[in-house]
Amino acid sequence: MIVGFIGLGGMGAGVARTLLKGGEYKLKVWNRSTGPVEALVAEGAEAAADPAEALDADVTLSMLSQDDVIEEVVVSSGALDLARNGVVHVNLSTVSVAFADRMERVHRERGLFYVAAPVLGRPDVAAAGQLNVMCAGAPEAVAKAMPILETFSKKVWPLGDEAKRANVVKIAANFALASMIETLGEAGALVDGHGVPPAALYEVMTNSVFASPAYKTYAGLIADKAFEPAGFKMPLGLKDVRLALAAGEAGGTPLPIASLLRDAFIEAIASGDGAKDWSALARGSFRRAGRSWG
């Protein structure tokens, strides 16, 4: 089975590499810059000359940064018009609910299949093949994609027939992560204001009621002030909160915490933290208290 792959950033390369190591699929990979392509070719992948060639496959995965990049690379470029008949395009990217609807339509119009399969996990998790994948689309297309998704996932969560259902779940989960970061920041600054190191609070929390991977990871990053190098950059956090707000507005749902997070991200970037990991959002809680953290 030939598997196309479009987009070899930190996350995409990790996923592609896991597929390659599995040995079951022939991979045709494309990326805007050629470095990551060459690296994967050295490990056994084939280079696709353009996105259209990567879509000349049985199943093609894409992992790109945002709506307009996908629109340009896959649709405006004409690649989709040249795609292999019946190809299943599995989009791993975090996109807006509106764009998921649009992608579903433009694929259907061309007799192609679109599956939304956004993932939960940072680059190290992707490289370890332990992502959580939210998945939605036409049942036959999902069935075809499933073995591939399972190769690099800890678990695939089926969420129904409409692509956007997977996206809104992913968007909601990412919103919950951002809220957790801001909450850890505020709670940490709160105890710090009374002389208690945030790490002492986090130790209690993450070894009791909040003993989960997300809390352990992010409380650790914040306590250690380990904001660089970024696993997930600040502007991506802002983008994801924007997706939540847009999905909320489209569904008539006010999201006061998401609104607050949007301002916090804009503040973080305006304050010079744009290249840091989004866990550095916590710095704002200290800054607003006239103190500094990291």
Query: Active-site positions?
Result: 170
Residue range at the interface with its own copies (CB under 8 A); choices 8-16, 17-25, 139-147, 250-258:
250-258
Which residues are CB-neighbours of 113 under 8 A, at least 6 positions away?
86, 87, 88, 89, 107, 137, 138, 140, 141, 144
Between 107 and 262, name the residue whose CB sits nearer to its own copies: 262
Interaction of residue 262 with its own copies, rule CB under 8 A = yes
Q: Give the C-alpha separation, 138 to 122, whole Å.
A: 27
Of the residues 141, 187, 221, 282, which one makes contact with its own copies according to CB under 8 A: 187
| Beta-sheet pairing, 131-137 with 119-120 | antiparallel
CB of 185: closest distance to its own copies in angstroms? Answer: 9
268-275 — which CB contacts under 8 Å span 24+ positions? Answer: 268/234, 269/234, 269/235, 269/238, 273/227, 273/234, 274/233, 274/234, 274/235, 275/228, 275/230, 275/233, 275/234
Q: Is 132 in the site for its own copies (CB under 8 A)?
A: yes
Smallest distance, its own copies to C-beta of residue 27, A: 26
Q: Does 183 bind its own copies (CB under 8 A)?
A: yes
CA angle 116–121–126, rounded 5-degree value: 90
Question: Does residue number 49 form part of the binding site for its own copies (CB under 8 A)?
Answer: no
Length of the chain: 294
- Could you tell me the maximum CA-CA distance found in the chain, to the nearest angstrom? 64
Q: Which of 9, 147, 160, 294 binds its own copies (CB under 8 A)?
A: 160
The residue within the footprint of its own copies, chosen from 2, 75, 172, 275 (CB under 8 A), is: 172
* Nearest distance in Å: CB 58, its own copies: 27
Cβ-based nearer residue to its own copies, 32 or 239: 239
Subset of residues 190 to 219 that bind its own copies, contact rule: CB under 8 A: 190-196, 200-201, 203-205, 207-215
Torsion angle defined by CA atoms of residues 55, 66, 90 and 25, in that order, rounded to the nearest 10 degrees? 60
- Pick out residues in 271-290 that bind its own copies (CB under 8 A): 271-272, 285, 288-290
Distance CA 200, CA 279 (A): 18
List the interface residues with its own copies, window 55-94 (CB under 8 A): none
| Size of the residue set binding its own copies (CB under 8 A) | 81
Q: Does 171 bind its own copies (CB under 8 A)?
A: yes
